[in-house]
Amino acid sequence: MDYSDYLKLNQLLTLQQPKSPHSEHRNENLFIITHQTYELWFKQLIIEIHHVIDSISKSEIADAINTMQRITIIMQTIVDQISIIETLKSHEFQRFRNYLGSASGFQSWQFAGIEALLGKPDNKKLQQYQCDNEIQKKLAAIIRPVSLHEVVCEQLIGAGIPGQDNKKIIKTMLESPSCESLLLNQLLDLDSLLQKWRYRHVKLVERTIGQRTGTGGSDGISYLKTTLFTPIFEELWEAL
Ligand code: HEM
């Protein structure tokens, strides 16, 4: 087996198929590759988040910390990667936008799965796949009965025990020099990065389509702005 076989390069490199006239292919190709790269990173993020959930469930905190470090770096990469697609000018995007039809990032089931796996399912997003058995199966493989948020609350913080002041417990944990504190701080990093991604995506969309509606049928940036400042680990932020 050689490099090309192992990576299935022949298949991979034929998966970019612009729909617009040839003169627009350079820009549409950038658009496609950017989205495909995101989906690949989403795939890896899902694997890593599953691993963190399992590690915390088994109280293997050092293992969870190692995996969170990888997750944070992937997240930082996908935030930074927005800079590449930001080089696509509004008029360049308009020249091939119609060829996308109703395709939209809103339909990214891996993204919807990640939101749910972390602990903040977007029901409107998830409902769109109700009649699609294939995607339902894929989502079922992504979403776990216990989300990362739930496992952190139950296993790490011990939330839900009557008479406990969770805010005080979290604050004490965050301030103590311990592995648990390191892990909680990594979860704050993850939350910040997810929110940074949302912010950079809104600004990208604003400069690319202005006030136009989205291909997915939303109001565009006014909808996307409603998704800002929505942390997953609210308890951690409240305890600071
Ligand atoms: C020129 C570039 C882009 C434009 C103009 C754009 C536009 C939009 C718009 C208008 C929406 C709202 C839904 C709709 O009505 O379509 C949306 C949602 C979304 N886009 Fe993009 N987008 C761009 C790049 C990207 C990239 C590179 C990704 C990476 C995967 C992405 C992922 C998403 C996701 C996940 C949502 C759903 C967000 C949520 O509901 O929380 N978009 N996009």
Tokens of 72: 């944070």
Task: State the pLDDT at residue 167.
Answer: 87
Q: Can you tell me whether residue 89 is helix, strand or coil?
A: coil
Give the model confidence (pLDDT) of 80-130 as tens digits: 999 999 999 999 999 999 999 999 999 999 999 999 999 999 999 999 999
Find out whether the beta carbon of 85 lies less than 6 Å from any atom of ligand 1. yes
What's the CA gap between 16 and 168, in Å, rounded? 52
**Domain boundary assignment for the chain:** 26-96+104-238
H-state helical runs in 98-165: 109-118, 123-127, 133-142, 148-151
Q: Are 237 and 171 contacting, i.e. CB atoms less than 8 angstroms apart?
A: no
Q: Which CATH code of 1.10.12.10, 1.20.58.480, 3.40.50.2300, 3.90.1150.10 fits the domain covering 26-96+104-238?
A: 1.20.58.480
Decide if pLDDT at 161 tops 70: no
Give the ligand 1 atom nearest the CA of 39. 30
What pTM value is reported for the model?
A: 0.96
Q: Could you tell me the two tokens for 168?
A: 């005080």
Residue of minimum CA distance from atom 19 in ligand 1: 105
Q: Give the Cα separation of 80 and 62 in Å (integer).
A: 27
| Cα dihedral value 218, 220, 225, 227, nearest 10 | 40
pLDDT in tens, 190-223: 999 999 999 999 999 999 999 999 999 999 999 9
pLDDT digits 0-9 by tens, 48-90: 999 999 999 999 999 999 999 999 999 999 999 999 999 999 9
- Which of these, 126, 90, 107, 103, lies nearest to 215 by C-alpha position? 103
